[in-house]
Each structure stands twice: as structure tokens, then as C-alpha cells.
Amino acid sequence: MMRIIGVVAGATLALGTSSVLAGDTFKSGNELHEQCQDHTSPAATIYVMGVWDAYSALEELEGFETGICPPKGVSMGQMEDIVCTWLLQHPEDRHHAASSLALNALHQSFPCAN
């Protein structure tokens, strides 16, 4: 998980945006977990979609490898399920930035072949 947090932090600094330290995040894993539990709201899906979209855009940077390679045909619903299940199974980490946790969950599920 620390590798993914480091990648996200480095990319954030390179892009000149705010810090991704746990105390200075837009959303914590606890907040995203609550949204995952609310099946009447699309908030978790929208958040995971935004994290993935932003992270995918980093592939356009020269020399940046995302390390997450979902197979063709994976739906956003599947990605949300992966992230929400990971948050449910790792309550000890939910105080960290939701974006880092989401990327970690996706990285564990879809690592790139070396």
C-alpha cells in the first residue's frame, strides 16, 4: 500500500496540486466506506470513477507507469465493488486518503504483468 500512496503523492506533487496526506485529503476511506454502504446513492461509483479517470490520465505522462492493468471489459461497477469490498475488509486502513486506498485495492486486483 505504501508504494501506491507514494506514487499518488509523487504524481500529485508533480502536477502541482494539494498534498495527499491523510489529514489533508478531500475524502477519507471512512467517508468512502459510508458511501459504499448507501446503495441508494451513486456517490461511491462516481468517486471511484473520478479516481480511476484521474489516475488513467497519468499514463499520458512520459515515463509514468500506473501499475494497474484491468482486463478489457471490466466495468466501473466491478471497480466499485473491488474498492468497497477492500474497504470493508480493511477497517484498520480507512483513516487514510480514499483515493490511495481505492488505487491500492485496484492494484491488488489488477496488477500489470511484468
Q: In the CATH scheme, what architecture does the domain 2-109 have?
A: Orthogonal Bundle (1.10)
Question: Could you tell me the residue ranges of all domains in the chain?
Answer: 2-109
How many Cα atoms sit within 13 Å of 45 on the Cβ side? 9
pLDDT under 70 in the chain at which residues? 1-25, 114
pTM of the model: 0.76
Report the interhelical angle of 76-89 vs 98-109 (nearest 10°).
110
pLDDT at 109: 96
pLDDT at 58: 84
